[in-house]
Structure 1
Amino acid sequence: MKKYHHRLAFSSALIALAFMSVPSAQADDGKNPTRIVLGYAPGGAMDAFTRIVADGLKKHIDGPILVENKPGASARLALNHVKRQPPDGKTILISSAPLFTVFPYTYKNVGYDADKDVVPVAHLADIPLVLSVGTQQPYKTTKDYLEWVRKTPKDSGIGLVTLGGPTQFGIMSLNKAAGIDLIPTAYKGAAPMLTDEIGGVLPAGIDAVASKLELYKAGRIRFLGVSGRKRSTVAPEVPTLAESGAPGFEMASSWYAAFVPAGTPSDVVIKLEKALISVVNSKDVQEKLTKLGVEGTGLSKEELRQQILQQRKVWKPIIDESGFVAE
């Protein structure tokens, strides 16, 4: 009889220990911090964007909110970190598009499952690209630039910050559609690329509007055209590349969106979705994002999921045809 009681007591202790070790989203008392993780270093456009959103979330979420920068492996390090966190709504990934729309096709071993390791929460912002040139260049429109490229093909280098993303594949699409041969020249960051652009060393460069907006407003560079299907609200006077006769960049704009670890309860996801959309759509945040060169969107998790699928359909055949493999 004593042996039976010992077994019963031991089993009860194990059960109690198991329940103590399981994290619970419902049991949160608001004291645990919410951590917002991004895969880029402090000081960039995504870091500034994330901190604006984090500040706005304080009105919707109890407890401290921390921004954690985990740069490395083209932001894949951050995603791999988030996917291993408890699915309790306390860890949020802010990601750009390539991790979900391009990398699954360019890396032989990307290191995560874009559809199973994390789940979409909300589409937060569009990040339009812009083709820009130094003000001393003879071409003042995209049409002029393409004509110049056809006449001087040996000087057809075009700057971009990273290979293997929508920018590079947009250039490939443009080459095919326009019958030209723009040669991508990769830089380690926007700053050195813009230095060469302003100095006239680089004929043209394409990168996020956010990285170039101040120079454009100061009259140091000229904007020729933006990516996407419609003009950017950040610089509405600049035509799209498509309407300027340079197709291929309709789906090349990047975006920022929020994700949480797979297994996060649906009610927690919905709460975060509503909070994030409310923050991005607020007037003060919209004004801050416009100054940053970012277009706040505030779209649902389902709209985000559909956009990912649409962009994959565009990029996969282009990537397959190019034979590009990321290292």
Structure 2
Amino acid sequence: MFESTRSFSRRHGLKMLAAAATLAVAGGAAAQGAFPSKPINIIVPFSAGGTTDILARIVGQYLGEELGQPVIIDNRPGAGGNIGGMAAARSAADGYTLFMGTVGTHAINQSLYSKMPFDPIKDFAPLSRVATVPNLLVANPAQPFKNVKELIAYAKANPGKVNFGSSGSGSSVHLSGELFKSMTKVDMVHVPYKGSAPAMTDLLGNQISVMFDNMPSAIQHVRSGKLRPIAVTTAKRSRELPDVPTIAEAGVPGYEATSWFGLWAPVKTPADVQQKLHAALVKVLKNPAVIKKIEDQGGDVVIDTQAQFDAYIKSEAAKWGKVVKESGAQV
């Protein structure tokens, strides 16, 4: 009788364990299927008001609507985007922290900085590019030059007197200026800021002379007459400012620089969560309202597969690494 009771208890215990295991698996699947169940943060590695921030807020608003959870923008400026990049790379890989990065954070900084606090390839899972934008060479109206040729002549006659601001060392805004210096042989002084917005404030106040700023954060000041447009950095003229020449056609043949922005997750984010985020992001970027908002800022929407974005990042890192080396740019 004792043996029979023990045998029954053992069998009953095994059934209970099996049932518990089944519930655990089902519960885990349900938890994964419930993503997202809380707000999502997008870390922006530059200050509020700059292009990266503007794009993150446009995308974040509609991504939140698509996923059914609020999206919170978390600005972490400094070190050319490296402070925000480090925070994102070290965050929990659960899909609730994303990173709105740039050509600077993922294709330039690794060549510009002797030591990086994160690996832009190994520490992140690319979701998709969001947009490409021209950089716009703008000047305070009080400056004594109105076009590229006059700027070059003035800078050569006054070495070191022209200073150009940027959203941080290693940003496309910075490298656009370094490429201009290298190709024109002019002596201009780089002044890095913790984001585009504070640099723009000083440009508007004539504390710095010029800026090769991303179109979205500069275009409003051009339209209002507070800044003088000199040229765009892309190979073709901008749709939003068709009367402004390219730097190449204005006197520096072969000059071209384009900024791009994208969304990443920490590399160990589960594959199914990455897929859900990518699918939602694609829907957002196909939304006519989003397309219009980005185009109104002078940008163009870009949609990549994760593999396409990964390959593009690697090709851009090789391209800008060469520019950094040839220009002699330093942090």
Shorter chain as denominator, the TM-score bin is 0.7 to 0.9
The amino acid of 2:314's aligned partner reads L
1:91 to 97, 115, 119: 97
* Among 115, 131, 134, the residue aligned to 2:121: 115
- 5+ unaligned residues in a row in structure 1: which ranges? none
Quick one: structure 1 residues 23 and 127, their matched pair in 2 at CA, closer, same or farther if it must change by over 3 Å?
A: farther
Return the match for 2:274 from 258, 269, 278. Answer: 269
Aligned identity (percent) is 26
In 2, Cα distance between the equivalents of 1:231 and 1:221? 18
TM-score by length of 1: 0.79
User: Aligned-pair distance for 1:180?
Assistant: 2.5
TM superposition shift of 1:124 = 0.3
Give the distance between the partners of 2:60 and 2:171, measured in 1 at CA.
27
Amino acid at match of 1:317: K
Question: Which residue matches 1:186?
Answer: 192
Q: Which residue number in structure 1 is paired with residue 294 of structure 2?
A: 289
For 1:315, the aligned partner's letter is: W
Residues 1:278 and 2:283 aligned together = yes
User: Residue in 2 aligned with 1:309?
Assistant: 314
Taking the aligned partners of 2:61 and 2:295, their CA distance within structure 1 comes to 16
Q: Which residue of 2 aligns with 1:50?
A: 56
Deviation string, structure 1 residues 22-57 (Cα, Å, up to 9, x no partner) = 798743265333333323444444333222212212
Between 217-226 and 300-309, the greater mean CA deviation after superposition: 300-309
* Farther off after superposition, 238-247 or 209-218: 238-247
Quote the residue 1:212 is aligned against.
218
Counterpart mapping for 1:11-90 below 5 A: 26-28=32-34, 30-61=36-67, 63-74=68-79, 75-90=81-96
Q: CA deviation at 1:78?
A: 3.5
Task: Tell me how large the CA RMSD over aligned residues is.
Answer: 3.8
Letter in 1 for 2:281: L
Structure 2 alignment gaps of length 5 or more: none
Question: Which 10-residue stretch deviates more, 64-73 or 182-191?
Answer: 182-191
Query: Which deviates more, 14-23 or 314-323?
Result: 14-23
2:252 match = 246
- Given residue 210 of structure 2, which amino acid in structure 1 is its aligned partner? A
**Preserved CA contact (<8 Å) 2:101 2:262:** yes
Q: Secondary structure at the match of 1:148?
A: helix
Measure the CA separation in 1 of the matches of 2:18 and 2:26: 12
1:103 aligns with 2:109: yes
Q: What CA distance in whole angstroms lies between the structure 1 residues aligned with 2:59 and 2:109?
A: 26
The reply to whether residue 135 of structure 1 matches residue 141 of structure 2 is yes
Task: Find the residue that maps to 1:298 and give its secondary structure.
Answer: coil
Query: 1:243: Cα distance to partner?
Result: 2.5
Partner SS, residue 175 of structure 2:
helix
Q: 1: distance between equivalents of 2:156 and 2:292?
A: 41
Cα distance in structure 1, aligned partners of 2:127 and 2:194:
31
Q: Secondary structure at the match of 1:146?
A: helix
- For each residue in 1:192-242, what CA deviation from the matched residue of structure 2 results, as whole angstroms up to 9, or x when unmatched? 644554565644222222222222111122111112233233323322222
TM-score (norm 2): 0.79
Which structure is larger by alpha-carbon Rg, 1 or 2? 2
1:148-181 Cα offsets, whole Å, 9 max, x none, are: 3233335333333423333333333323322322
The SS at the match of 1:206 is strand
Kindly state the Cα deviation for residue 136 of structure 1 after the two structures are TM-superposed. 4.0
